[in-house]
A and B are shown apart, each in its own frame.
Chain A
Amino acid sequence: GAGVSQSPSNKVTEKGKDVELRCDPISGHTALYWYRQRLGQGLEFLIYFQGNSAPDKSGLPSDRFSAERTGESVSTLTIQRTQQEDSAVYLCASSSPRGAYNEQFFGPGTRLTVL
């Protein structure tokens, strides 16, 4: 079946504007994760959704960042009043937590550039 998809693949925006990034997880995967990768850095965890549980927002860097997920499907990551330091590749991953094993499958990412 289809893998994790993300849109747009690239986004260029001006400082101060809001952006929305979309993630479509693998069908049937109950867990969804957002990460970001800034230049020269590893991946940083942002937020985690698991089924109908309250999301784990512990990785969000500021209150300008928020995310929503509709049931066990699409998720949207919103960044308000973007800053230049928000420039990064934003990655989405999904997994099916059967037992203790939750291999995460990654999407291609959205490259965000804030001018």
Chain B
Amino acid sequence: AQSVSQHNHHVILSEAASLELGCNYSYGGTVNLFWYVQYPGQHLQLLLKYFSGDPLVKGIKGFEAEFIKSKFSFNLRKPSVQWSDTAEYFCAVNQAGTALIFGKGTTLSVSS
């Protein structure tokens, strides 16, 4: 069955620290990959997405993610986090025209 695994349930960082959140998926065929973010009290927003082409994708607010097909991974990175990055982060996968399969999410807490 298709699945998405996010290895870190809760990550705590100080401002300016570097961030990497792991995401692995189990999904046959061509996939679309997404990272969504949910800030406290707000609804889910798209952070970045990969459909094809350059496996290193850049999103909003300085985030980037790298698709490594051989590892079935799509890890999210940011070189220097800010307090405002405190949020819950969800990795998701789908094939064109189908529902998203989400990981369980990673809560990021950034202390100032």
A residues in contact (CB < 8 Å) with B: 31, 33, 35, 40-45, 48, 50, 56, 59, 91, 93, 97, 100-109
Q: Using known A-B contacts A91-B44, A101-B32, A106-B43, determine if residue A45 contacts B97 with beta carbons closer than 8 Å.
A: no
Interface positions of B (Cβ within 8 A of A): 4, 6, 32, 34, 36, 42-46, 49, 51, 90, 92, 94, 96-105
B99 pairs with A45, CB closer than 8 A:
yes
Rounded to whole Å, the gap between the CB of B67 and the closest CB of chain A is 15
The residues of A that contact B96 with a CB separation of less than 8 Å are: 97, 100-102
Q: Whose C-beta in chain A lies nearest to the C-beta of B97?
A: A97
Closest partner residue, chain B, to A109 (CB atom): B43
Contact A42 B51 (CB under 8 A): no
Contacts of A106 in B (CB 8 A): 36, 43-45
